[in-house]
Amino acid sequence: MAKLSTEELLGQFKELTLLELSEFVKAFEEEFGVTAAAPVAVAAAPGAPAAAAEEAAEQDEFDVVLESAGDKKIQVIKEVRGLTSLGLKEAKDLVESAPKPILEKVDKAAAEKAKEALEGAGATVTLK
């Protein structure tokens, strides 16, 4: 097999779908015993990579981010109003301007509950 240059490899990766690229990353990690997240943790805290990894594993504050409202925007607006103290207009504006954070720095249980409620209403949500 001929050795590919960096540009040629990047060209090949550009042709992959996100799902195919995700599968490739998983296979790469298994084959070589590495993780894609490790360099980021080391770069964030070069003096204490083990401590940075422990902090990431023990995250206790989460942000609930609304990625999209989906087809049932009215239901999502109702859920946003129930989760926050926003009025109807503010909740509608927030839902229409997604992606936006709905809740910030909440504990894991509250974040999971909010995510479940919003996804039940048809929204796409991520926790950060």
Q: Could you read off the pLDDT of 71-89 as tens digits, one per residue?
A: 888 898 888 888 888 888 8
pLDDT of residue 40: 45
Question: Which residue shows structure tokens 């990894």?
Answer: 53
- Helices marked H in 1-120 — which ranges? 6-14, 18-32, 38-44, 49-57, 73-83, 88-96, 108-120
Neighbours of 80 (CB within 10 A): 26
Q: Model confidence at 41, in pLDDT bands (50, 70, 90)?
A: very low
- Cα(121)–Cα(13) distance, rounded to whole angstroms? 35
Going by C-alpha positions, the residue among 87, 92, 97, 101 that lies closest to residue 74 is: 92
pLDDT band at 51 (very low <50, low <70, confident <90, very high): low
Predicted TM-score of the model (pTM): 0.52
Domains with residue ranges and CATH for the chain: 60-125 (3.30.1390.10)
- Please compute the mean of the pLDDT values over residues 96-114 and round it to a whole number: 85
